[in-house]
Amino acid sequence: MDRISDFEEIYTPLKITEVKPLLDRCYNCSEPFCSKKLIVDNNLVGCPLEININKIISLMKYDLYDEAYKELTKNNPFPEITSRVCKGYCEYSCINNKDNNPTSIREIIRTLSDYALDHNLVDTSIKENKNKKVTIIGSGASGLSCAYYLAKEGYNVTVYEKDECPGGTLMYGISNMRLSKDILNRRIDLLKKMGVNFICNTEVTRVISPMEVLDNTDALVIASGVIKRRFVCPGMGLKNVMYATDYLKKVTKNILTSGKSDILENKKVLIIGSGDTSSDVISYALREKASMIAVIDYKNMPPLKRTNSWPQPSDALIIDEAILEARAKSKMDPRSFNMTIKEIIGNNSVDGVKLTQVKWENGNPIISDREQTFPVDEVIISVGNIGFEEDLINYFDIDVVNKMVDEFKHNNGKVFICGEALLNNGVTALAIKDGLKCAKEVSEYLEA
């Protein structure tokens, strides 16, 4: 397993001509479901940004890469990012996915986007300066897309970021193997070239007062993202219990400064939760040479083979790159379902965990009285995020009653809010879309 010997990106870069066989698998459907954002049985399918996939592929078939990239970036300012981190909602609804073998849309888009970056096809032109200032708090996906649109329209854009580098979750919450920080930094450099001013290491409310920020801007956008869900379990206060977001951030910082990281070296690690973030933790833990990696999830194990039908996303057990790596390393799947944690045991630091089984009856969990103790050195909590940065929302008295609605709200004159702070669904493409939508509203407000 050469791949887990370093923290480099896992994708094999393709030359633009090498994607030709992939392009040929697109039928140029007259009614392409891949490009339409749809909700099917409460599942998102189709491209959330509604890019015109079959047109892009058709242009690429004729080697018209410049035109294809222009078409791609009409709705998606950062395709090099979405093609790496998106789950592939477009591929769920591709007609070829009826046979569980969709057109490789993400690979095609990633190759085209990298080609565009390498061949200076990215449009960084901006309109005449409007001499109006917009300040954005937060530099994740929605903050960056909002900054991109407003800078392009000729506004003076400043972005506050509490961490050392811009990017938010894209920088610190997604592994370097899924989204290389070099790729992200290339985009951030392009935004700087467009005039976006990033002020890092500056948390609004703690380092600078929100009122000072508000007084010095014509419009303020809150794109501060979500905060982690608080997990309650006896022993949470022990050393070596970490939230996944904190762990991913520490490793990413280590990689950025020295190219290596060994926080979990020779450690037995239990990860609670089996979603995308959990997979990023597995990938990092493998490369840090953890001696054992186990994952528990209280949910029922998904079926091994798909039981639902196109265009729903497959309900089968997800086998992503991290799980493949873990299986290759230890010859077994690290995940155990129908399991939950009763207690983390230890004195100062973690010695082990008490686990128990969960049965589901009529949608309700029945927790077993029996428990088993397992020795572990580290516990990593990966149970998702919740809500928004309350300090900021409360400070500006923003109405977030409809936070699950694909809308942003601005109840305080020149204060706007967008992205995960409202959506809380972990879909990068939707956060980008929301940032663009918010930027248009800011622009209309400033021009009124």
Please state the closest distance from residue 104 (CB atom) to ligand SF4, in A: 9
Query: Which of 10, 14, 38, 95 is close enough to bind ligand SF4 by CB under 6 A?
Result: 95
- For residue 91, the minimal CB distance to ligand SF4 (Å) is 8
Nearest distance in Å: CB 320, ligand SF4: 21
Contact between 40 and ligand SF4 by CB under 6 A: the answer reads no
Please say which residue, 25 or 329, places its beta carbon nearer to ligand SF4. 25
Distance, in Å, from the CA atom of 252 to the CA atom of 149, rounded to the nearest integer, reads 28
Q: How many CA atoms lie within 13 A of 389 on its CB side?
A: 20
Q: Looking at beta carbons only, is 61 or 253 nearer to ligand SF4?
A: 61
Q: Where are the alpha helices (DSSP H) in 98-177?
A: 105-118, 141-152, 169-172
Distance, in Å, from the CA atom of 36 to the CA atom of 75, rounded to the nearest integer, reads 12
**Tokens at 372, concatenated:** 């088993």
CB of 37 to ligand SF4, least distance (A): 13
Q: How wide is the angle at C-alpha 290 spanned by C-alphas 289 and 293, nearest 5°?
A: 135
Q: How far is the CB of 29 from ligand SF4 (least distance, A)?
A: 3
| C-beta of 104 vs 180, nearer to ligand SF4 | 104
Nearer Cβ to ligand SF4 (108/213): 108
Percent helix, strand, coil in the chain, to 5, is 35, 20, 45
Residues 15-34 interacting with ligand SF4 (rule: CB under 6 A): 26-29, 32-34
CB of 106 to ligand SF4, least distance (A): 11
Please choose, from the candidates 22, 47, 23, 27, the residue with its C-alpha nearest in 3D space to the C-alpha of residue 311.
47
Q: How far is the CB of 88 from ligand SF4 (least distance, A)?
A: 11
Binding status of residue 108 toward ligand SF4 by CB under 6 A: no
User: Residue 6 carries which DSSP code?
Assistant: S
Measured from the CB atom, is 57 or 221 closer to ligand SF4? Answer: 57
Which residues pair with residue 380 across a beta bridge?
242, 271
Amino acid found at 114: D
For ligand SF4, which is the closer residue by CB, 53 or 429? 53
Record the tokens describing residue 88, joined without a space: 């592939």
Q: Are 428 and 85 in contact (CB under 8 A)?
A: yes
Q: What is the dihedral of CA 214, 220, 225, 230, to 10 degrees?
A: 30
**Residue number with CB closer to ligand SF4 (53 or 353):** 53
Among 11, 45, 54, 204, binds ligand SF4 (CB under 6 A): 54
Question: How many angstroms separate the CA atoms of 233 and 342, rounded?
Answer: 7
Q: Which of 72, 94, 290, 392 binds ligand SF4 (CB under 6 A)?
A: 94
Residue for token pair 């633009």: 16
Number of residues that bind ligand SF4 (CB under 6 A): 14
For residues 254 and 312, which CB has a smaller minimum distance to ligand SF4 in the complex? 312
- For residue 412, the 8-state DSSP code is B
Of the residues 44, 45, 47, 53, which one makes contact with ligand SF4 according to CB under 6 A: 53
Please give the Cα distance from 252 to 167 (Å, whole number).
12
Which part of the chain contacts ligand SF4 (CB under 6 A), choosing from 70-78, 93-101, 234-242, 270-278?
93-101
Q: How far is the CB of 259 from ligand SF4 (least distance, A)?
A: 37
Instruction: Tell me, rounded to whole angstroms, the distance of Cα 140 from its chain centroid.
Output: 9
Residue closest to 161 by CA, chosen among 218, 220, 223: 223
Instruction: In angstroms, give the least distance from the CB of 409 to ligand SF4.
Output: 34
Contact positions with ligand SF4 (CB under 6 A) in 169-228: none
Say whether residue 105 binds ligand SF4 (CB under 6 A). yes
* Closest CA relative to residue 224, chosen from 427, 49, 387: 387
Please identify which residue in 52, 75, 76, 103 interacts with ligand SF4, judged by CB under 6 A.
103
Helix axes 244-258, 181-193, angle to 10 degrees: 80
Q: Cβ 97 to ligand SF4, closest distance in Å?
A: 8
- Show Cβ contacts of residue 289 under 8 Å, excluding neighbours closer than 6 positions: 262, 264, 265, 266
Q: Could you tell me which of 273, 271, 222 has the C-alpha nearest to residue 247? A: 271
Nearest residue (CB) to ligand SF4, 312 versus 336: 312
Contacting ligand SF4 within 319-358 (CB under 6 A):
none
Q: Do residues 186 and 117 touch, judged by C-beta distance below 8 A?
A: yes
Please, what is the minimum distance in Å from the beta carbon of residue 33 to ligand SF4? Answer: 5
Contact residues toward ligand SF4 (CB under 6 A) are: 26-29, 32-34, 53-54, 94-96, 103, 105
